[in-house]
Structure 1
Amino acid sequence: MSINKLSIIIPVYNEARTIHQILDLLRELTLVNNIEKEIIIVNDCSTDESVEVIQSYAARHPQMGVRLLQHSVNKGKGAALHTGIREATGEYVVIQDADLEYDPEEYNLLLKPVLRGFADVVYGSRFMGGNPHRILFFWHSIGNAVLTFLSNMFTDLNLTDIETCYKLFRRDIIQGLKLEENRFGFEPEVTAKVSRVPNVRIYEVGISYYGRTYAEGKKIGWRDGFRAIYCIVKYGLFR
């Protein structure tokens, strides 16, 4: 399959310390088959200097064509993704966090089953394959395994990591979903809804994970885990 453009959606909330490093990685990245990169950043009403950093970077590197969209109030990561997805124009859309937990070089791993004509949706799993994985929190890994297990029960998929950031979607599929969750409930919601797309082909590939601690800026907490369980049941039972 031929792809001309990949839309990269980056939700941002108080990531002034790292966003320029992610943009550096994207600037240096060469996608397989020289696929064009469309970079869409959605600032979710940051209270630090994220906007200034992004605007300064975009001015220094106009060839990247960075698009900055802004929320006037903080709505959550899911809401930022909704905004970016609506504006995407590439044949495929990938999600990129603004921190340094994931390596954009691995977009080419996500694209491989698409370019070979096998996949419409690809998840990047932190828990399969032999790629580097930072050792962090035991109970987080147990929580993630429980959420993935519960999600799989309702979707009848056999994913290993529904909470991964790296999700690649065919644009018409992701734009065709009615997404509602404004925070971290986005992950189980989009998984439930994409699993019901007729004849959708979902693949999973192993990726690296350079996780952050809370001291380093990690934001997801136990409340988000309970919300995820609620979303799994809500979108799994009530269609």
Structure 2
Amino acid sequence: MKINKLSIIIPAYNEGRTIHLILNKIKAVELIDDIQKEVIIINDCSKDDTEEAILRYQQENSDLNIQYFKHEKNAGKGAALHTGISKATGDYLIIQDADLEYDPEEYNDLLKPICKGFADVVYGSRFMGANPHRILFFWHTIGNRWLTFFSNMFSNMNLTDMETCYKLFDRKLIQSISLSEKRFGFEPEVTIKLSRIPNLRLYEVGISYYGRTYEEGKKIGWKDGFRAIWCILKYGMFKAK
């Protein structure tokens, strides 16, 4: 399958220290089949110098197609993704966190099942394959695996990593789905709603994971885990739209 352009959606909140580093990595990646890159950054009302860092990078790197949008009030990661998805113009789009936990060099690994005509959606799994994986929090890992298992019960899929950041979508497909969750509930909501699409071809590929500690800026916490459980019940058991 021929893909002309990939939209890279980056929600950013207080990522002034690392946003230029992840943009450097994205810029350096040469995508397979000469696919062009469209970078869409959504600043979710950061309180640090995220905006200044983005605008400075945009000015100094005009050869990278960067579209910048800003929320006037902090609305959450899911809300930032809603904005980014609505603005995307690529054939496909991928979600990229503004930190350095995920490696853009692996975009091509996720694109291959699409380009070969096998998949409509590809998730990057931190829990399969022989890729590097930083050793961090035991209970956080158990929580991720349990949430994936719980989600699989209602979606009737066999994913290994529902909570992964790296999700690669057919742009028209994801824009056609009504999404409601404003924070980290985006992950179970979109996964369960995808599972209801007839004949959808969803693949997983193994990816690396260079996780951060909370001191290094990690934001997701136990409250988000409970919200994810509620979202799985809401969209899985009660079939909320």
- TM superposition score normalised by structure 1: 0.99
Equivalent in the alignment of 1:145: 145
Alignment of 1:17 onto 2:11: no
Give a deviation string over 1:15-68, Cα, whole Å, max 9, x none: 000000000001111000110000000000000000000000000011112110
Shift of 1:117: 0.2
Equivalent in the alignment of 1:172: 172
Structure 1 stretches (4+) deviating beyond 4 angstroms?
none
Alignment of 1:208 onto 2:208: yes
Alignment of 1:49 onto 2:52: no
Shift of 1:197: 1.1
Give a deviation string over 1:87-109, Cα, whole Å, max 9, x none: 00111010000000000010000
Q: For 1:205, what is the secondary structure of its paired residue? A: strand
Q: Which runs of 5+ in 1 are unaligned?
A: none
C-alpha separation in 1, matches of 2:31 and 2:41: 19
Equivalent positions of 1:1-239 (< 5 A) are 1-239=1-239
- Count of residue pairs the alignment pairs up: 239
Q: For 2:123, what is the secondary structure of its paired residue? A: strand
Shift of 1:167: 0.2
Kindly provide the amino acid, as one letter, of the partner of residue 27 in structure 1: K
Shift of 1:199: 1.1
RMSD: 0.5
C-alpha separation in 2, matches of 1:46 and 1:39: 18
Shift of 1:238: 2.4
Give a deviation string over 1:186-221, Cα, whole Å, max 9, x none: 000000011111211000000000000000000000
Q: For 2:63, what is the secondary structure of its paired residue? A: helix
